[in-house]
Amino acid sequence: MTATWTRVQTLYACLKGIDPYVELALNLTPLFYFPWVAVTTSGGWPVPPIKIAFPKLSILLRLNNLSPKEFAEGEKGGKPIFDHGNLPTGLDWSDIVQVPSLYSGLADDGDTIWRYCAARVEKAFFDLLHADSLLQSYIYRLSLGLPFSKEPQPAAKVDLPQHPLFAPPPLPPAVVVGVIDDGLAVANQRFRDRDGGTRVQYLWVQDGNGTKPPAPKPPTGPAVSTGAPFPGSTGWQFCKAEIDAFMKHYAKDGAVDEDALYRALGIIDYRLYSHQAAAQSIAHGTQVMDQLCGADPATVDPRCPARPIVAVQLPTRTTATSSGADLAPHVAEAIDYILYCSAQIAQLYKVSSLPVVINFSYGRYAGPHDGTHLLEQLIDRRIAQRESYGVNGRLRLVLPAGNNYLPQGHAQLTFGSNASLSVKWRQQPDSRTPGYLEIWLPEDGGATAPPGSLKSRLSISLTPPGGGPSMTLGEDPNNALQLLNSDGYAVGAVVYAPTAPQTKRPMFLVALAPTASVEGKPLGSAGEWTVTLANDPSHGLGPNERIHAWVERNSAPLGYPPLGRQSSFDDKNYDYDISYDLSGLEIDAPRPIETDDAASYVRRFGTINAYGTGESAIVIGGYERRSRIVAHYSAAGPALPHTGYTSSFHRIGPDALVPADDSDAHLGILGAGVRSNSVVAMDGTSVAAPQVARLVADLLANGDKADADQIQKLAAYAEAHPPPNLPNPVLPFGQPRDGAGRLPLPLVVKIER
């Protein structure tokens, strides 16, 4: 690859609290992120200039001294929150910012303060943000989400029925279970009641495209009313009555044509993406949903189901690709949608609120890993807000620990007595997704970098395979490095992100272009890239101050075509599956080595889900049910400490381990396939988490707190009283990976393998 490094001025990384991926997406490497249109030669290859098609962008905000209502209106106290002179000609605030009505009405009221808000914005919003210091003062933090493949339409406003409320009962009459996932087979019999209707009270297909189809009108009686309790949001929303009407419409001889139903509901839509999870025999979301709330329909009373379901299907592209952008805006909206719907469901039970448990079996490899990710902060905030509801309104959210214990995606570095250090980052050939590396530095404001100091403690440079090193970039948010190919297109970038509010650690973010493309996109180089960090001799890091680096995931999720191939660190001192006998000779290990070697900078510990290091979520790892050994992929803590917390909380590892495999021979655990009466096996901490979420729902129904502390106590008790008919090996890893112990739970599908 003939390419040249150049130093460029940043537009957004220099703004405090702005996600550095905004800099990559809108300035340094837009081809990694957005759809594009190319002029082609007769041979079909793109020639300059390639034009970027900028769609609306999803963002998650934490506002500063501003409510979501004020942000939606673009005014505070009757005055604009921006300088009109900076707004592009011919545009109003409402042309560039759309705030869903779930947030647009949230105004501060006494002690009730609202600061988190999701929005859809045009690129012009970021142009305004770059130029306008007044608007910048109101943005505390901003996280970027993926653009949609096609622009969904907003839902229409609906007036929902209100019912007289009874006094709060001593125990909740039901617990709302929420699932945020992909490939949700909502018509599967495991999610029906004994009358054949669905238990899904509300469904939101976030990327439902075009005009939402009306529910089929029954032969007699009135038309089915629409069910969009969250007006103004994008995509398609359906209530139970609508889903039931569609199920009856597509039923023949007592059986529902589930594929046709899912196409009608937008759960399967090949216009958006070539892979549709619910069209396969196994789907991540369906298996997770079964572990969470699947049941024999004969046991479910349609008049008062004990576990009414709210399901949110994430946009397909957010699941299918890895662009370095974040799921946070989509997930934040999903969480708040579930909470909003729970209030509507509570009306059916004639109470003001119901407890809610949400399972979100997704994760990130990269991130601050100290509880300060914006989504983690929102989760902590929402759980804290619901504590005031007491036994009849608590919120619990369950996450997987992650499956990235062994992919060599975490490095821990110290300079010691060295002036510089290098790590090898291997890019796989034939990878059609970009590679991202986040290098998190120690908290600034320490002894080596006084508060407000502009001195750079260290610098970074990058050396491509077979090439020379780049120029260096210090801790300078005003400049970035960009790697341009011979046609002038960016195939790599390095940007420095200063400390954001809440996250006190700055980071270097490195982005590399895909190494393969069927569309003719500009490519990066496969092979071994060298990342070099140089310590400043006068005011650099101390010899034992730790730098942590994480490679972001870019491999394909379950069932999806293999677009990306996972990049990883490459260290000659890292042994994957080679052990040594007493004489020092190499021998093949019976399974991958699962302990860290101090001689290697590649570390297995510290790989815990980057969404799962906050204070309030319940985080679950996995073990093999029959052998009772930790699943080889189950990720580990500890998370990084953070001095900014008002509490002393510091996540050490998952809260507990739950079966994620039956055995080495029988991988995974059994659960529902996409179509009714099918059973499939799926492994991973993604299926461990919803088993605990099911338990949490039962505990909430009994009036328990059902928080992480209670789960830890139950796991510790189970660890002290192991099953008598199974092996009981000692857990060797300690709390960072083992949590409080193994928590055997009843099988959802009781079929022996």
**Tokens 């034939």 -> residue:** 430
Report the side by side order of strands in the sheet with 116-121.
Answer: 97-98, 116-121, 57-63, 139-144
Q: Is residue 585 part of a domain?
A: no
- Any residues with CB less than 8 A from the CB of 22 and at least 6 apart, and which? 12, 126, 142, 144
pLDDT value for 567: 94
Q: Are residues 191 and 336 in the same domain?
A: yes
Out of 546, 570, 594, pick the residue that ends a domain. Answer: 570
pLDDT value for 224: 57
Q: Are residues 414 and 364 in the same domain?
A: no
**Tokens 């929102």 -> residue:** 378
Specify the number of domains making up the chain.
3
Q: Is residue 231 part of a domain?
A: yes
Out of 502, 535, 570, pick the residue that ends a domain. Answer: 570
Q: Is residue 123 part of a domain?
A: yes
Q: Return averaged pLDDT per consecutive 10 residues of the chain, 753 residues in all.
A: 89 94 92 65 51 79 96 95 90 93 89 91 94 96 79 52 56 94 96 94 89 78 57 80 94 93 93 87 96 94 88 86 73 94 90 95 93 94 92 95 96 95 96 94 59 75 94 96 92 93 91 88 92 94 95 83 89 82 69 91 97 96 97 96 70 97 94 96 97 98 96 97 94 96 94 83
Measuring CA to CA, which residue among 412, 490, 506 is closest to residue 457? 506
Q: Is residue 278 part of a domain?
A: yes
* 507/500 Cα distance (integer angstroms): 10
Q: Are residues 311 and 238 in the same domain?
A: yes
Query: Strand ranges (DSSP E) for 253-354?
Result: 255-256, 309-313
CA 48 to chain centre: 35
pLDDT in tens, 590-644: 778 999 999 999 999 999 999 999 999 999 999 999 999 999 999 999 999 876 6
Q: Is residue 481 part of a domain?
A: yes
pLDDT in tens, 542-555: 999 999 999 999 88
Is pTM, for the whole model, over 0.95? no
Q: Are residues 237 and 311 in the same domain?
A: yes
Rounded to whole angstroms, what are the CA distances from 265 to 207, 213, 234, 272, 676?
A: 11, 8, 14, 14, 17
Q: Is residue 85 part of a domain?
A: yes
Q: Are residues 362 and 424 in the same domain?
A: no
Measuring CA to CA, which residue among 537, 566, 572 is closest to residue 554? 566
Q: Are residues 296 and 220 in the same domain?
A: yes
pLDDT value for 166: 53
Q: Are residues 138 and 180 in the same domain?
A: no
Q: Is residue 377 part of a domain?
A: no
DSSP string, 89-116: TT--HHHHEE--HHHHT---BTTB---E
Query: Any idea what the Cα angle at residue 538 is, between residues 529 and 531, rounded to 5°?
Result: 5
**Burial 614-626, CB ≥16 within 10 A → b, else e:** bbbbbbbbbbbbb
State the pairing for strand pair 435-440/547-551: antiparallel
pLDDT value for 450: 42
CB 438 within 8 A of CB 444: no
Rounded to whole angstroms, what are the CA distances from 180 to 1, 398, 618, 628?
A: 41, 11, 15, 29
Q: Which helix (H) or strand (E) holds 682?
A: strand 679-682
Out of 516, 537, 570, pick the residue that ends a domain. Answer: 570
pLDDT in tens, 281-298: 999 999 999 999 999 999
CB 320 within 8 A of CB 720: no
Tokens at 370, concatenated: 């100290």
Measuring CA to CA, which residue among 279, 272, 332, 343 is closest to residue 308? 343
pLDDT in tens, 494-525: 999 998 888 889 999 999 999 998 877 789 99
pLDDT value for 338: 95
**Tokens 């018509």 -> residue:** 187
* 257/675 Cα distance (integer angstroms): 10
* 198/218 Cα distance (integer angstroms): 17
CA 414 to chain centre: 29
Packed helices 685-701 and 284-293: angle between N→C axes, nearest 10 degrees: 30
Q: How many CB atoms lie within 10 A of CB 384?
A: 12
Query: Any idea what the Cα angle at residue 306 is, between residues 302 and 312, rounded to 5°?
Result: 90
SS3 73: helix
Q: Are residues 180 and 328 in the same domain?
A: yes
Q: Are residues 192 and 137 in the same domain?
A: no
Q: Is residue 671 part of a domain?
A: no
- What is the domain-level CATH number for residue 431? 2.60.120.1290
238: DSSP letter: E
Please, how many CA atoms are within 13 Å of residue 227, restricted to the half-sphere of its CB? 24
pLDDT value for 163: 45
* 616/214 Cα distance (integer angstroms): 40
Q: Are residues 365 and 425 in the same domain?
A: no
pLDDT value for 560: 79
Q: Are residues 277 and 415 in the same domain?
A: no
What is the percent of the chain where pLDDT is above 90? Answer: 69
Domain membership of residue 82 as a residue range: 34-144
pLDDT value for 449: 39
* 42/65 Cα distance (integer angstroms): 56
**Tokens 């029959």 -> residue:** 626
Q: Are residues 333 and 202 in the same domain?
A: yes
